[in-house]
Amino acid sequence: MLTATSHLDVLDATAVYWAGRLTLCACPDDLDRYDAAFAAYFAGEAPRRPATSSAPQQQLAESAPLQVDAGAGEERDDAPDLAARASADEVLRHRDVSQLSIAERDQLRRLFALLVPAAPMRRSRRRRPDARGGVDPARTVRRALRDGGEVTRLAHRRPRPRPRRVVLLVDVSGSMSPYSDALLRFAHVAVRARPASTEVFTVGTRLTRLTRELRLRDPDRALAAVGTAVPDWSGGTRLGEVLQAFLDRWGRRGTARGAVVVICSDGWERGGAELLAEQMTRLHRLAHAVVWVNPHKGRDGYQPLTGGMQAALPSVDHFVAGHSLAAFEELTGVIARA
């Protein structure tokens, strides 16, 4: 939680609330306890000490309701209803970002700062001492030489995990414009969390690398830099051609090899679906996993019937929604487990 709040305005109670909720609550049973503790601290409430009892379980079950000082009533009446604000934020988390008002978009931007993406991990050739790993012959022999040539203890080691590269390809064509801001803010969070192992490109009618721009700490400055760097905002979509350009240049360099590649697109394709299918097959052979994020998948009754989606899906490992903050939270888990 301390790491999350270091990036926030600590006077913003709503932001602090969600920082704690997202980092401290491990299961649904924790939510009520967290809400009570948060309200007790920030709204001046204090729990009444229960009467002494010889039965601990009965003591927990019959604990008295919260009480406050009589003189604090007027101050509490003027304080914001934290529970109501938290409930409003919970509703906002599940709203389709394309349907938000300007005020709701501003609030959503603050909630985006609370996302903490976990990196997918891979084994490396380097190993580290670990009692639960396999036998380390070299260290065992060296230890035996120090002990007069007799093996008294076995040394163990296991592979040292390293972050796996994540590559995000964000569609900025006209059909994706209602979601472009949210997708790029998610990309900014991902780059800031793992700057050495995350790459971001936009795709439309051409390929643009944005990793450097998204390394800026302030998300608004980062997106302003992105707006200057991308020449094909709200244009058409030639996913097959752009994906081919990505693989020809960056696939050979190893950027896609062994990586988790995340394509954020609705699948509308002005080029040939055959070329897209061919390049997706090529990408699938190079990458560790291919994740396709389609904002429309979050709508009831959605079916991937566009030519682009039909061509791409056979080479996709994970097909997920990307229409709300809750969907992006789920996406972080999909990437981490890929």
Cα atoms found within 13 Å of the Cα of residue 45, Cβ hemisphere only: 17
User: What six digits make up the tokens of 179?
Assistant: 């979601």
Instruction: List the beta bridge partners of residue 28.
Output: none
pLDDT of residue 146: 81
Alpha-carbon distance 291 to 275, whole Å? 19
Single pTM value for the model: 0.69
How many other C-beta atoms can be found within 10 angstroms of the C-beta atom of residue 18?
Answer: 22
Spell out the residues 6+ positions from residue 285 whose beta carbon is closer than 8 angstroms to its own. none
Alpha-carbon distance 47 to 51, whole Å? 12
* DSSP strand pairing (156-163 vs 166-171): unpaired
Q: Which residue type is seen at 10?
A: V
**205-229 b/e (C-beta count within 10 Å ≥ 16 → b):** bebbbbeebbebeebeebbebbeee
Task: Answer whether 241's CB lies under 8 Å from 275's CB.
Answer: yes
- Reading phi first (left if > 0) and then psi (alpha if -120 to 50, else beta), residue 301 is in left
pLDDT of residue 24: 79
Q: Which residue type is seen at 138?
A: A
User: What six digits make up the tokens of 294?
Assistant: 């389609």
Task: Answer whether 289's CB lies under 8 Å from 318's CB.
Answer: yes
Q: CA angle, 74 as apex, 69 and 76 as ends, to 5°?
A: 70
Alpha-carbon distance 291 to 261, whole Å? 6
pLDDT of residue 281: 97
> From the centroid of its chain, how far is CA 109?
14
- Each residue's pLDDT tens digit in the chain (338 positions)? 656 666 666 556 777 777 777 777 766 667 777 777 777 666 554 444 344 444 433 333 343 343 444 444 444 444 455 666 667 778 888 999 999 999 999 888 888 888 888 878 777 666 677 777 777 788 877 877 787 777 777 877 777 778 899 999 999 999 999 999 999 999 999 999 999 999 999 999 999 999 999 999 999 999 999 999 999 888 888 999 999 999 999 987 789 999 999 999 999 998 889 999 999 999 999 999 999 999 999 988 999 988 999 999 999 999 999 999 999 999 999 999 98
pLDDT of residue 43: 57
Task: Answer whether 160's CB lies under 8 Å from 124's CB.
Answer: yes
3-state secondary structure of 161: strand
Alpha-carbon distance 41 to 185, whole Å? 31
CATH 3.40.50.410: which residues of the chain?
166-337
Task: Answer whether 127's CB lies under 8 Å from 159's CB.
Answer: yes
Task: Answer whether 181's CB lies under 8 Å from 189's CB.
Answer: no
Q: Which fold has domain 166-337?
A: Rossmann fold (3.40.50)
How many other C-beta atoms can be found within 10 angstroms of the C-beta atom of residue 232?
Answer: 18
Alpha-carbon distance 210 to 229, whole Å? 8
pLDDT of residue 236: 84
Alpha-carbon distance 181 to 261, whole Å? 20
pLDDT of residue 67: 40
